[in-house]
């Protein structure tokens, strides 16, 4: 990196390493200790999970506050009883006194210049926020301009002092959305309605309201007011409800029937509102009314009386479109429905209108009036500019956007024409208001306020697309409250869903509207400001930059704490392009370094040429460059950059979680290739329903240092023994903490690498270098052995290899599908090949592999105990003689302890209603008869009998 590239604030890169002695900084908490139990407990609370911080901006898979705080503090502080005690307090409760003491020790540790903490994959900025709150010079980089903006909104702008900015030029406070004042920054109160300035905290507004919060409220309200005026003709008011604008409209895509040629709507649900017994609410349902060759809509009270037109056959998967005309009834398969979309045959039709009853606040539906249908036909668009008003950027074929499979090829087409027009008016209002503000307040403050308004636009995009379905909460029997709201377009965290019937939120007041989004954003900002101002931290700084080319000088960073992309789990840029196209239209003048198009890819979307993720199999089929090899190579380059900018005594902390060992293999290989050694690994149960990650439950905080220059060469046998002992020792602590077996497997990789990192290389007697994968396999085996799994007091290691694998597999995954990489590591742990297990023990599925519980093929003396037991279960319906024949065919003694131990064990592991469990329970009850019969049978006779299950394969 050249000296011309910016160094981050306060002379980053200018402080010499003499600011503290090596003995002060060589060992840090992360190397020897981490508050795992406190993190586990804290992430299950709203404060520890960071719900407010995450609600401020839409992003994917960010760190819980408690884990980020622990990782930052443990990466900066030396190990001492005082530091351990205070870190526990601030992680668990946010104790302000303990945090102040830790900030004081950090300041004393690093001298006159605060330590520099870098997050090179900063995402929404959770880690830099915690570094800033700890008093460090916090910097964050991310390749995505959307993520960079997210970081500024969370960890930069809220920590600045805006108290000297001039008043804004519009709307009185009384016209702004109401937010609760219960968690405002504590300052001496003043009379309500009087304005007050607090220069220390940058507060001005009603009572003790922070200045930034008051002005964001004003801007959000002004955007909403202007747009409501500008689109008035598009959304006719209801004269019977005090002239209110309906809060939403239910639409459906229509197609021409291949049977009769008449057009009909594809409706996935006819429920509008479930009944609710407590309030004697009968609920509402939608009905199609057929009149000749036309159809209409009627809203009726009560439960639905018609089936949806887009539905799955009873008891089967896969939806199809059913023509509702009585003389036709033609059924269109999903492939036919898709083909009609690709042929441009879709048309949108408004079905019903959603309003709020002013007396009961109940959401009610009605059929649309003719003027409402007409107003939506040709929506007026705002004036154009150098960009198209409606995003015309093409959706990449490899993006996870379901709508493109139905003919919707641009980001603008993800919305119906009126939805897109409303978004365009909001984008223009933000753009214009920024220009007006820049003439009154500082350019940075104008950018700040416009950016918060644009963040609200991104939140709105999540409920303003064809994928935003109506959610009718409650039950058909009326036993639960029957609320109605707009669903989120994102499913499985980052996949953009599509629906043929969807809800359009208008400019009125209700779920999914600008007003509703404004209130939730303001409440989140209020809480972030309250926490941030009390920390007395300095603003973090964020730049858009690639992790493989960091814009900082050599040896300038004290600690890197980062959460690298999760392999195949999330396509960050593809998913956030929905926001990016609207930011280009609202923030091109406010944030030109991010959204003026100069940093875009050739397709006008975010540049993904250096995005370090792995796309799925379908994407690879389209030639996407983000492959497994690309991921590992680029991650190694990124870690080499981390090594370059770290000081000699600097620390790298990597937070990572993935259920697939292949992901861990590539991460750890990248760390090793970059010249780092692992010094510690600390598992935490952070991925819960609070964070929305369903695929993993544990993440691991990995401490790393630059590898010493003179490390000894290790001898394979000796290192194997060290790794085994280390992992087994860790397992005792993990068991005490209640860590699940599958999570111990994930945590074991870092523990193994701690041992491996002590050696420059590890060789076998013939001089061959031992690969990293060997130690991951060895670590898994050590976990399995450490749990001392016993079946009827028989140690697991005394069973045959296939049975041993089946038992351990069942303990970890049960009947779940397991990715191929994980299955391969399971096999290697017992010196087996996956190919040999396919059939006898495992069956291959679309998602990977699954443990077989069904009947095996023909049993022989070479069959494993697990296969024999499955054979016994499958034979039970034919009686005890058939069960006994299984033992004879496999040449197993009738009293074989291992066989009956597996029978007992599998019976308890399967649900009591499971057919295999029922059969084995019967076998157990008749054990004496089975054994007696088996004792009289010969192996030859058993083999001669026709197999009851030999065709199972």
Q: How far apart are CA 217 and CA 630, in angstroms?
A: 44
The token pair that represents 110 in the structure block: 């690093």
pLDDT on residue 949: 55
Q: How far apart are CA 299 and CA 283, in angstroms?
A: 10
Greatest mean pLDDT range, 481-495, 526-540, 705-719: 705-719
Q: How far apart are CA 362 and CA 351, in angstroms?
A: 19
Q: How far apart are CA 861 and CA 878, in angstroms?
A: 22
Q: Find tokens 């691991």 and name the residue.
A: 700
Q: Write out pLDDT tens, residues 901-927.
A: 999 999 988 888 899 999 999 999 999
Q: Write out pLDDT tens, residues 795-806.
A: 888 999 999 999
624: pLDDT strictly greater than 80 = yes
Residue from 215, 181, 159 nearest 9 by CA: 159
Give the mean model confidence (pLDDT) for residues 267-273: 95
Q: Write out pLDDT tens, residues 831-855.
A: 888 888 999 999 998 878 999 999 9
Greatest mean pLDDT range, 380-389, 575-584, 704-713: 575-584
Greatest mean pLDDT range, 2-6, 522-526, 745-749: 522-526
Residue from 90, 93, 185, 92 nearest 135 by CA: 90
Considering the chain, what is the average pLDDT of its residues?
85
- Residue 17 confidence class, pLDDT cut points 50, 70, 90: very low
pLDDT on residue 262: 96
Paired strand residues for 348: 253
Q: Write out pLDDT tens, residues 316-358.
A: 678 999 999 999 999 999 999 999 999 999 999 999 999 988 8
pLDDT on residue 618: 59
CA distance to 93, 113, 537, per residue, from 104 (Å): 19, 13, 12
Q: Find tokens 């390493």 and name the residue.
A: 17
- DSSP assignment string, 504-516: EE-SSSSTTSHHH
pLDDT on residue 142: 96
Paired strand residues for 430: none
Residues in Cβ contact with 810 at an 8 Å cutoff, skipping those fewer than 6 apart: 851, 906, 909
By CB neighbour count within 10 A (0-12 exposed, 13-18 middle, 19+ buried), where does 23 fall?
A: exposed
pLDDT on residue 831: 83
236: pLDDT strictly greater than 80 = yes
- Residue 656 confidence class, pLDDT cut points 50, 70, 90: confident
Residues in Cβ contact with 77 at an 8 Å cutoff, skipping those fewer than 6 apart: 28, 29, 83, 87, 102, 105, 106, 109
Question: DSSP H helical segments within 333-475, as ranges?
Answer: 334-342, 370-375, 417-438, 443-461
pLDDT on residue 63: 73
- DSSP assignment string, 151-204: HIIIIIGGGS--TTSPPPSS--GGGSPP---TTPPP-----TT-EEEETTTTEE
pLDDT on residue 191: 28
- Residue 938 confidence class, pLDDT cut points 50, 70, 90: low
285: pLDDT strictly greater than 90 = yes
- Residue 185 confidence class, pLDDT cut points 50, 70, 90: very low
Give the mean model confidence (pLDDT) for residues 229-237: 92
Residues in Cβ contact with 907 at an 8 Å cutoff, skipping those fewer than 6 apart: 917, 920, 921, 924
% of the chain with per-residue pLDDT over 70:
89
Q: Find tokens 């707009």 and name the residue.
A: 486
Question: For residue 13, how many other CB atoms are within 10 A of its CB?
Answer: 18
942: pLDDT strictly greater than 70 = no
- Residue 493 confidence class, pLDDT cut points 50, 70, 90: low
Greatest mean pLDDT range, 143-157, 519-533, 562-576: 143-157
Q: Find tokens 């084995």 and name the residue.
A: 920
Q: Write out pLDDT tens, residues 380-398.
A: 999 877 789 999 999 998 8
Q: Residue 262: phi, psi to the nearest 5?
A: -80, 145
Paired strand residues for 654: 562, 702
The length of the chain, given as a count of residues: 953
Q: How far apart are CA 424 and CA 390, in angstroms?
A: 6
Provide, for the chain, the percentages of residues in helix, strand and coil under a 3-state DSSP scheme, each rounded to the nearest 5.
45, 15, 40
- Residue 734 confidence class, pLDDT cut points 50, 70, 90: confident
pLDDT on residue 394: 95
The token pair that represents 919 in the structure block: 């059969």
pLDDT on residue 207: 52
Question: For residue 402, how many other CB atoms are within 10 A of its CB?
Answer: 18
Q: Residue 571: phi, psi to the nearest 5?
A: -95, 85
Radius of gyration in angstroms for the set of CA atoms belonging to the chain, rounded to a whole number? 31
- Residue 621 confidence class, pLDDT cut points 50, 70, 90: low
CA angle centred on 377, ends 374 and 378, rounded to 5°: 120
Residues in Cβ contact with 558 at an 8 Å cutoff, skipping those fewer than 6 apart: 25, 76, 110, 115, 116, 117, 136, 646, 647, 650, 651
Across 612-616, 644-648, 858-862, least confident range = 612-616
**Greater model confidence, 500 or 815:** 500
Across 125-139, 163-177, 567-581, least confident range = 163-177
pLDDT on residue 475: 94
- Residue 57 confidence class, pLDDT cut points 50, 70, 90: confident
CA angle centred on 179, ends 177 and 184, rounded to 5°: 135
Say what the alpha-carbon torsion angle 903, 905, 906, 910 is, to the nearest 10 degrees. 140
> pTM of the prediction?
0.83
- Residue 617 confidence class, pLDDT cut points 50, 70, 90: low
């Amino acid at each position: 990196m050249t000296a011309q590239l910016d160094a981050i604030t306060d002379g980053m890169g200018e402080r010499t390493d003499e600011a503290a002695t090596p003995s002060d900084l060589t060992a840090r908490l992360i190397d020897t200790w981490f508050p795992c139990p406190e993190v586990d407990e804290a992430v299950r609370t709203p404060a520890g999970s960071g719900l407010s911080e995450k609600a401020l901006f839409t992003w994917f898979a960010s760190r819980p506050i408690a884990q980020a705080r622990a990782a930052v503090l443990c990466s900066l502080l030396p190990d001492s009883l005082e530091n351990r005690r205070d870190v526990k307090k601030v992680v668990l409760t946010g104790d302000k006194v303990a945090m102040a003491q830790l900030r004081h020790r950090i300041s004393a540790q690093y001298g006159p210049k605060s330590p520099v903490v870098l997050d090179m994959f900063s995402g929404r900025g959770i880690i830099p926020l915690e570094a800033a709150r700890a008093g460090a010079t916090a910097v964050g980089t991310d390749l995505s301009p959307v993520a960079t903006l997210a970081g500024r909104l969370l960890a930069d702008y809220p920590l600045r002092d805006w108290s000297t900015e001039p008043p804004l030029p519009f709307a009185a406070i009384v016209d702004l959305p109401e937010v609760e004042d219960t968690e405002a920054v504590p300052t001496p109160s003043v009379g309500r309605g009087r304005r007050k300035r607090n220069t220390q905290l940058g507060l001005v507004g009603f009572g003790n309201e922070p200045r930034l919060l008051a002005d964001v409220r004003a801007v959000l309200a002004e955007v909403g007011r202007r747009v409501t005026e500008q689109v008035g003709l598009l959304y006719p008011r209801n004269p019977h409800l005090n002239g209110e604008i309906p809060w939403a409209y239910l639409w459906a895509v229509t197609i021409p029937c291949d049977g009769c040629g008449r057009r009909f709507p594809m409706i996935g649900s006819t429920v509008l509102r479930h009944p609710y017994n407590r309030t004697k609410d009968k609920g509402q349902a939608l009905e199609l009314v057929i009149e000749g060759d036309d159809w209409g809509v009627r809203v009726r009270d009560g439960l639905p009386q018609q089936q949806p037109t887009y539905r799955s056959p009873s008891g089967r998967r896969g939806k199809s479109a059913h023509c509702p005309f009585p003389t036709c009834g033609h059924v269109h398969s999903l492939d036919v429905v898709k083909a009609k979309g690709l042929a441009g045959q879709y048309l949108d039709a408004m079905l019903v209108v959603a309003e709020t009853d002013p007396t009961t606040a109940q959401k009610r539906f009605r059929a649309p009036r003719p003027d409402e249908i007409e107003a939506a036909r040709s929506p007026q668009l705002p004036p154009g500019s150098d960009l198209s008003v409606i995003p015309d950027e093409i959706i990449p074929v490899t993006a996870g956007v379901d709508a493109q499979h139905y003919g919707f090829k641009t980001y603008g087409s993800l919305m119906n024409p009126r939805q897109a027009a409303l978004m365009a008016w909001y984008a223009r209002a933000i753009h214009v208001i920024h220009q007006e503000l820049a003439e009154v307040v500082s350019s940075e403050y104008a950018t700040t306020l416009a950016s918060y308004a644009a963040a609200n636009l991104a939140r709105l995009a999540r409920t303003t697309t064809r994928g935003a379905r109506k959610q009718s909460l409650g039950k058909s029997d009326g036993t639960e409250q029957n609320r109605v709201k707009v669903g989120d377009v994102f499913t499985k965290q980052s996949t953009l869903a599509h629906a043929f019937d969807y809800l359009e939120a208008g400019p009125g007041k209700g779920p999914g509207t600008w007003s509703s989004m404004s209130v939730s954003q303001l409440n989140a900002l209020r809480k972030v400001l309250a926490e941030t101002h009390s920390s007395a931290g300095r603003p973090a700084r964020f730049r858009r930059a690639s992790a493989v080319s960091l814009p900082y000088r050599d040896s300038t960073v004290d600690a890197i704490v980062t959460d690298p992309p999760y392999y195949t789990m999330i396509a960050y840029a593809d998913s956030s392009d929905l926001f990016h196209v609207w930011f280009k239209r609202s923030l091109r003048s406010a944030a030109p370094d991010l959204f003026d198009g100069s940093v875009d890819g050739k397709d006008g979307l975010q540049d993904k040429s250096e995005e370090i993720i792995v796309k799925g199999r379908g994407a690879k089929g389209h030639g996407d460059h983000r492959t497994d090899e690309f991921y590992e190579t680029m991650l190694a380059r990124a870690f080499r950059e981390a090594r370059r900018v770290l000081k000699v005594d600097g620390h790298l902390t990597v937070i990572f979680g993935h259920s697939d060992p292949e992901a861990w293999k590539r991460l750890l290989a990248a760390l090793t290739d970059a010249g780092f050694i692992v010094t510690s690994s600390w598992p935490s149960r952070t991925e819960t329903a609070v964070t929305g990650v369903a695929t993993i439950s544990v993440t691991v905080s990995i401490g790393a240092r630059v590898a010493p220059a003179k490390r000894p060469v290790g001898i394979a046998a000796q290192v194997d023994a060290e790794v085994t002992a280390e992992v087994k020792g860790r397992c005792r602590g993990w068991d005490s903490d209640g860590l699940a077996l599958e999570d111990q497997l994930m945590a074991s990789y870092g523990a193994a690498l701690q041992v491996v990192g002590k050696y420059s290389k590890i060789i076998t007697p013939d001089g061959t270098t031992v690969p990293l994968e060997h130690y991951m396999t060895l670590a898994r085996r050590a976990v399995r052995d450490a749990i001392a799994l016993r079946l009827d007091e028989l140690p697991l290691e005394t069973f045959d290899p296939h049975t041993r694998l089946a038992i351990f597999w069942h303990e970890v995954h049960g009947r779940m599908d397991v990715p191929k990489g994980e299955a391969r590591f399971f096999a290697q742990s017992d010196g087996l090949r996956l190919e040999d297990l396919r059939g006898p023990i495992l069956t291959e599925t679309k998602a990977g592999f699954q443990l077989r519980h069904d009947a095996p093929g023909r049993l022989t003396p070479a069959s494993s105990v697990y296969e024999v037991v499955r054979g016994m279960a499958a034979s039970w319906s034919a009686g005890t003689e058939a069960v006994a024949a299984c033992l004879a065919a496999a040449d197993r003694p009738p009293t074989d302890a291992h066989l009956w131990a597996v029978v007992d064990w599998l019976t308890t592991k399967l649900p009591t209603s499971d057919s295999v469990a029922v059969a084995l329970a019967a076998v157990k009850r008749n054990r004496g008869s089975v054994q007696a019969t088996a004792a009289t049978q010969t192996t030859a006779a058993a083999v001669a009998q026709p197999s009851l299950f030999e065709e199972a394969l």
